[in-house]
C-alpha cells in the first residue's frame, strides 16, 4: 500500500520563540522567505503525499490562510505584472481537498496529537512530519523513507547521530544496523539523560507508521514530561511489529531552537545565488 497521507502536528504554542510567537504560529516563522511549515508541506507533496492532515489548535489562523487563496493579493500582483511573485503565491495552495484540518483541543503531547488524526488516516500506513525539523537534501527525506518503506513494509523513523550530551532533547533508539544506514530498533526511550541513553542515535521528526499505532496511542499513557509520547507508543508497538531507524541523506536543522533556526536561515540563504553574493562577505566581516 502506498503512503498517501501525512500528519502534521502543529498545535504547539511555540513558547521558545516568544514574543515573536505571541500572535503568530511558530510554524509561520520564515526561513529566508518561506514559513517553516511550507518546507515540510512541499517535502511531503514532492514525496507523493496526496493528503495533508494538519492537527491544529487555537491561534493558528494565519497558517490556514497561508495555504488558501488570497484573491486580493493575487489581483494586485497581476495588475502590477509581478508574474514570479504571483506564481509563488498561487503555487502554495494545494489542490482542493488536499488539506484536512482537525484540532487537538488539549496540549497532551505529540502522541496525543497524532491520535487526533486517527479517523482521517483510517486503516493504512501514514507519514508524520514535524516541521521544526527542517532538512536540506537533494532527495526529499520523506521520499527516501517511502522508498525504504516499500522494501521493509514496517514502521520507521528518521535518525541522526547526536553528541552524547544532547540525548535528553530527543527520542533515542537502541538498534542494530540491518542494512547500510538502516537500523532495526531494539528499544527506544524519550529524552533520556546521557548516562541512561542506550546510544547517540536520535529520532528526527519524520516517521512512517502502521495504523496499529493508534490503538497504542489510544491507551493515553503519560510518559516523559507528563505528556502522551509517540516514543512510548512505538516502544509498545515493538512488541508486535518490527521498527526501523533510517539514517537519511541530508542536513537537518532544529528550527525549534533559536540557534538552529538562525543556522537554517544562513544555510538556506547560502543556497540562493541572489542572497549568497551579499551574505557571504557580510558574514565574514561579522565573524572577524
Which chain residues interact with ligand G1P by CB under 6 A? 110, 130, 132-133, 170-171, 190, 202-205, 229-231, 256
The string of DSSP codes covering the chain is ----EEEEE-----GGGTTTTSSS-GGG-EETTEEHHHHHHHHHHHTT--EEEEEE-TT-HHHHHHTS--HHHHHHHHHTT-HHHHHHHHHTSPSTTSEEEEE--S---HHHHHHTTHHHH-SS-EEEE-TTEEEE-SS-HHHHHHHHHHHH-SEEEEEEE--GGGGGGSEEEEEEEEETTEEEEEEEEES--GGG-S-SEEEEEEEEE-THHHHHHTT--B-GGGSB-HHHHHHHHTTTS-EEEEE-SSEEEETTSHHHHHHHHHHHHHTSHHHHHHHHHHHHHHH-
Q: What minimum distance in Å lies between the beta carbon of 24 and ligand G1P?
A: 19
Q: What minimum distance in Å lies between the beta carbon of 254 and ligand G1P?
A: 7
Is 35 or 256 the residue whose CB approaches ligand G1P more closely? 256
Q: What minimum distance in Å lies between the beta carbon of 197 and ligand G1P?
A: 12
Find out whether 172 and 164 touch, Cβ atoms under 8 Å.
no
Q: What minimum distance in Å lies between the beta carbon of 57 and ligand G1P?
A: 14
Is 110 or 213 the residue whose CB approaches ligand G1P more closely? 110
Is 77 or 210 the residue whose CB approaches ligand G1P more closely? 210
Tally of CB atoms within 10 A around 66? 20
Is 107 or 282 the residue whose CB approaches ligand G1P more closely? 107
- Give the residues across from 90 on adjacent strands: none
Q: What minimum distance in Å lies between the beta carbon of 164 and ligand G1P?
A: 15
**Sign of the dihedral through C-alpha 161, 148, 252, 217:** negative
Is 89 or 260 the residue whose CB approaches ligand G1P more closely? 260
Q: What minimum distance in Å lies between the beta carbon of 96 and ligand G1P?
A: 31
The CB-nearest residue to ligand G1P is: 171
Q: What are the cell numbers at 250?
A: 541530508
Q: What minimum distance in Å lies between the beta carbon of 178 and ligand G1P?
A: 21
Q: What minimum distance in Å lies between the beta carbon of 231 and ligand G1P?
A: 5
Distances (CA, A) of 125 to 9, 128, 269: 17, 10, 35
Is 152 or 202 the residue whose CB approaches ligand G1P more closely? 202
Is 25 or 205 the residue whose CB approaches ligand G1P more closely? 205
Is 79 or 193 the residue whose CB approaches ligand G1P more closely? 193
Amino acid at each position: 500500500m502506498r503512503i498517501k497521507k501525512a500528519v502534521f502536528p502543529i498545535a504547539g504554542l511555540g513558547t521558545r520563540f516568544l514574543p515573536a510567537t505571541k500572535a503568530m504560529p511558530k510554524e509561520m516563522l520564515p526561513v529566508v522567505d518561506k514559513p517553516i511549515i511550507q518546507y515540510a508541506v512541499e517535502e511531503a507533496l514532492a514525496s507523493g503525499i496526496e493528503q495533508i492532515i494538519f492537527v491544529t489548535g487555537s491561534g493558528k489562523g494565519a497558517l490556514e490562510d497561508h495555504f488558501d487563496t488570497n484573491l486580493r493579493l493575487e489581483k494586485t500582483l497581476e495588475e502590477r505584472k509581478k508574474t514570479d511573485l504571483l506564481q509563488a503565491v498561487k503555487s502554495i495552495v494545494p489542490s482542493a481537498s488536499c488539506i484536512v484540518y482537525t484540532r487537538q483541543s488539549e496540549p497532551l503531547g505529540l502522541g496525543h496529537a497524532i491520535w487526533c488524526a486517527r479517523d482521517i488516516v483510517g486503516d493504512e500506513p501514514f507519514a508524520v512530519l514535524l516541521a521544526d525539523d527542517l532538512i536540506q537534501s537533494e532527495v526529499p527525506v520523506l521520499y527516501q523513507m517511502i522508498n525504504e518503506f516499500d522494501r521493509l513494509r514496517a514502521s520507521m523513523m528518521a535518525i541522526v547521530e547526536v553528541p552524547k550530551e544532547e540525548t535528553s532533547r530527543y527520542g533515542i533508539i537502541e538498534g542494530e544496523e540491518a542494512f547500510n544506514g538502516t537500523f532495526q530498533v531494539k528499544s527506544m526511550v524519550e529524552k533520556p539523560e546521557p548516562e541512561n541513553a542506550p546510544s547517540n542515535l536520535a529520532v528526527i521528526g519524520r516517521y512512517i507508521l502502521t495504523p496499529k499505532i493508534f490503538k497504542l496511542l489510544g491507551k493515553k499513557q503519560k510518559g516523559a514530561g507528563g505528556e502522551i509520547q509517540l516514543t512510548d507508543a512505538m516502544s509498545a508497538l515493538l512488541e508486535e511489529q518490527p521498527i526501523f531507524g533510517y539514517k537519511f541523506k541530508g542536513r537537518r536543522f532544529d528550527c525549534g531552537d533559536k540557534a538552529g533556526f538562525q543556522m537554517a536561515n544562513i544555510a538556506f540563504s547560502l543556497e540562493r545565488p541572489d542572497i549568497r553574493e551579499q551574505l557571504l562577505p557580510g558574514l565574514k566581516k561579522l565573524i572577524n
